[in-house]
Chains A and B, each alone.
Chain A
Amino acid sequence: MIPASTAGISFPATLLCLAFIFLVPCAAAGLALISTGLGRSRSAAHSMMSAMCVLAVAALAYFVCGFAWQGFAGGPAHVASVGGKEWNWIASVPFFLRHQALDGSPASLVALLGMFSVGLAALIPLGSGADRWRLGACCASTAVLAGCTYPLFAHWVWGGGWLAELGTNYGLGRGFVDTGGAGTIQAVGGLTALSIAWILGARRGKYTREGLPTAIPGHDSVLVMLGCMLALLGWLGLNSAGAILYNGAEPGHAALVAINTVLFAATAALTAAVITHTRFGKPDASLTANGWIGGLAASSGASAFVSPGTAAAIGVLAGLLVTFSVEWFELHMSVDDPGGSISAHAMGGLWGVLSVGLFARIPAMGGAGMQASGPGGQWLAQLVGIATLIGFILPLTYGLNWLLDRVYSQRVGAEGERQGMDLYELGAGAYPEFIVHSEEFTER
């Protein structure tokens, strides 16, 4: 691995990297549209307002302390010595981006990409908390995610932390590899979405007294599909910028990354469409959209290190995983996730992380060609990363959000759910000239 801060990148590569990073907000816009479209019409304005506030709070929290704790490879950090090896736990960059040259240096590009990435991660729980998550609680939870949870894991992976150093310290391949944030952005955001869904509980009327789920369809499939198109644009930038900044890829490598990203999304979405068509007689738009996003989430793991054929195969498996896990979460785990965020981002992201260990051909240290990941090497590093996400990040994000819920209730009251979040929290609906809802989804 070439540490971004010490290797430096050429001027053309810097320009290209900036252009890629400027595409990332398209992914945020896409996710906001998807969450809104899959929610109810009576909460549409609230959903978009929440998305904007979440992006703002995430950027602010990342500016205040997020980047200071994430840091960058080769930057100042707190290191503990365990068993004669150095364990890099957390960065020690000054708060408020002080003393940081914001001049196109690799560290400044990392800060910019991090600011957009943390917003993307913070948007993911909006899908699982749709129609019942208070605006103030969204913002407070985002501050916790962007100021604490995300920077900690991002430092371990992208800031020269102990996960990134598993290769150097213990000979596990090239250490934990995550091209564009399958673990760092998607899985962290997806596991936070799971925590939020657990803490909030299901929407009123979602489950019958016998525990069977009722269908509460999204209100606008057009918004959802438009969101998917925008998300693809953002992911092209995210994966390409990540490959250059965090993995030392040459700018020309972005062509492979982009082709693979499209193939991941395409095969995952088509798989979801075929599965739903086979099972239900017609393809399901929302599950196909979830498959698309799940494919994109998985692409962030290995898109820089697999051939297009392998990318297509991983995408097919991502589509299968996401489609069945949506049903599994709703039916068997009783988790009400209106936006499918947990399946698309957590499951897709974790699969993307694992796929690096199973299929990636990663350049050797020093960039001398490509080598196959050896047994006991890269796959074990990826497994350690997954174990860290589930064994440490999930309890951490659940615990912090549970504490927040004790101080400031995250779920809106029953009257708010009945009226809709728009009227209750914002005082006006998204579509004031139309009668857009009825009481057909009240509990039976």
Chain B
Amino acid sequence: MVIKILNALIAIVGGVVGAIILYFLLNKLAELLPGRWEDRVKPFLFLLPALAAITLYLIYPTIQTVVFSFANAASTEFVGASNYGNLLSSSAFQNTLFNTLLWIIVVPAGTIVLGLLIATLADRMRPRSEKLAKTLIFLPLAIGGVSAAAIWRFVYAANPPGQNQVGLLNGIWTGFGGDPVNWLQISTLRANSFLLMVILLWIQAGFAMVLLSAAIKGVPTETLEAARLDGAGEGAIFFRIVIPQIRTTLITVFITVLIGVLKTFDIVYVMTNGNFNTNVIAVDFFNQLFTNNNAGYAAAIVVMLLIIMIPILVFQIRQFRAEEAAR
């Protein structure tokens, strides 16, 4: 144990000192070059380690994954597009895609509605109550997916009929006279998927609330006063003035949550491992890779995930260029 801590400390000191020495040497190296060349080469030397990390850990593997997606389970032989064909025609994977689609539709929208509601309500409280409420609702974001799953596993827990219930939901349910229900196994109308989505909503609502609340506070007072003088009701002010004014923030929150949803792994993996008809794309990827040892299917799944994300990527780059132009 002591050795592990020492290892970590050595890594930190070694990593940081090593990086400093590396940059110092690269800089000295550039200074040896004649003036004009020094200026030309130096930027790339400053960029070198970061670009190397990105190339090695993101760009090269992405290309390689696309290649693997056309190869067999052990990545030894090319099989054309059959991984895609087999996956898309299997009813299990169609189910997974359908579940993923449900998550995409429900969670970002739900997070925004909840975030807006809480932000609007908290905005009308005394500063101290506002701060307390916001901290409570924001806290789940810090604790991570596995801990959240531990918390909610306990909420959804079911004991056999006749015993006392220890799970909160069944405690309430049986308190009203119902029979205990194994909530996570009810796939009728995808009820269990929705119960899993509740966990992600619980985690992310605080994030939406913080950004939206800041944006709402940024709406100019004069605009609101003018609308009030013209006799607009609070509802009209909210939907016709506040919402349009915070549009960019709404989009940011929507996209961020959407990306989070597409990558959702730990909640589903820990709660059901995709069983009982709750599978989503990121969990399926993991199980194809490690349970079925099929790197071809896993790669094809993740390439499909990448394709789903292309519109977001294009939007993100456009947004960035617009921002740069305005800078």
Instruction: Say whether A associates with B.
Output: no
Q: Which residues of B contact A (CB under 8 A)?
A: none
Q: Which residues of A contact B (CB under 8 A)?
A: none
